[in-house]
Amino acid sequence: MYEVGTGKADITAFKKDVGMMGYGMFHNRIKGVETPLYARAFVVRDLTTKRKIAFVNAEIAFITISIKRGVMKKLKRHHAELEFEPENVLLTAQHTHSGPGGYSHYGLYNIAVPGFVPEVYQNIVDGIVSAIVEAEGKMRPAKISFNKGSFAPDIDVAINRSVKAYNQNPEVAKVSEKDAHLALDREMHFFRVDGIDGKPIGSFNFFGVHTTSIHNDNTKINADNKGYASTFLEAEMHNENPDYISVFAQKATGDVTPNYVWDKKKKWTRGKFEDDIESARYNGKLQFEKAKELNELAQEKGESIALGIDYALSHANFANITPDLEFTNNPQAKTFLSCHGVAFFKGTTEGPGMAPILVAVANFATAVVKVYDYTRALFVSKAERTKIHEKYRIQGPKKILIETGDRKLLGTRNVTGFIVPAFIDPTIKYFKVFHKSGGLDHKPWTPQTLPLQIVTLGQVAFVAVPGEITTIAAKRLRQTVLDNLAQRGVSEVIICSYSNAYCGYITTFEEYQVQCYEGGHTPYGQWTLAAFQTKFKELAQQLLKNPEERQIDTSLAPVEFTEEELNKRTFAYSSKK
pLDDT in tens, 273-283: 999 999 999 99
pLDDT exceeds 90 at position 575: no
Q: Are 321 and 535 in contact (CB under 8 A)?
A: yes
pLDDT at residue 240, rounded to an integer = 95
- Residue 464 — φ and ψ, nearest 5°? -85, 105
Q: Would you place residue 309 in the very low, low, confident or very high pLDDT band (cuts 50, 70, 90)?
A: very high
Confidence class of residue 428 from pLDDT cuts 50, 70 and 90? confident
Q: What is the Cα–Cα distance from 552 to 421, expressed in whole angstroms?
A: 48
| DSSP string over 123-181 | HHHHHHHHHHHHHHHT-EEEEEEEEEEEPPTTS-S-EES-HHHHTTSTTSPP--GGGGG
> Is the pLDDT at 576 greater than 80, yes or no?
no
What is the DSSP code string of 242-258? TT-EEEEE-SS-TTEES
Report the pLDDT value the prediction gives residue 218, as an integer from 0 to 100. Answer: 97
* Cβ burial, residue 57 (10 Å; 0-12/13-18/19+): buried
pLDDT above 90 (res 375): yes
* % of the chain beyond a pLDDT of 70: 100
Q: How many Å apart are CA 543 and CA 148, to the nearest integer?
A: 25
Per-residue pLDDT band for 301 (boundaries 50, 70, 90) equals confident
Q: What is the pTM of this model?
A: 0.97
| pLDDT at residue number 239 | 95
Mean pLDDT throughout 513-540? Answer: 98
446: number of Cβ within 10 Å: 20
Burial 100-125 (b: 16+ CB within 10 A, else e): bbbbbbbbbbbbbbbbbbbbbbebbb
Burial of 82 (0-12, 13-18, 19+ CB in 10 A): middle
pLDDT confidence of residue 323: 98
Mean pLDDT of 450-472: 98
Indicate if the pLDDT at residue 341 is higher than 90.
yes
pLDDT-derived band at 306, boundaries 50, 70, 90: very high
Q: What is the mean pLDDT of residues 356-367?
A: 92
The mean pLDDT value for 101-114 works out to 96
Quick one: pLDDT band at residue 298, thresholds 50, 70, 90? confident
Residue-level pLDDT at 425: 79
Helix then strand then coil, % of the chain, to nearest 5: 35, 20, 40
* Minimum mean pLDDT range among 191-200, 233-242, 425-434, 521-530: 425-434
> Above 90 in pLDDT, residue 388?
yes
Q: Shortest CA distance to 409 belongs to which of 384, 445, 437, 372?
A: 445
Q: Given this model, what pLDDT does residue 358 score?
A: 86
Average confidence score pLDDT of the chain: 96
316 contacts 449 by C-beta, under 8 angstroms = yes
Of the two residues 299 and 182, the one the predictor is more confident about is: 182
At residue 421, does pLDDT exceed 90? no
pLDDT for the residue 572? 83
Question: Mean pLDDT over residues 350-372, rounded?
Answer: 92
180 pLDDT more than 90? yes
Q: Is residue 574's pLDDT more than 80?
A: no
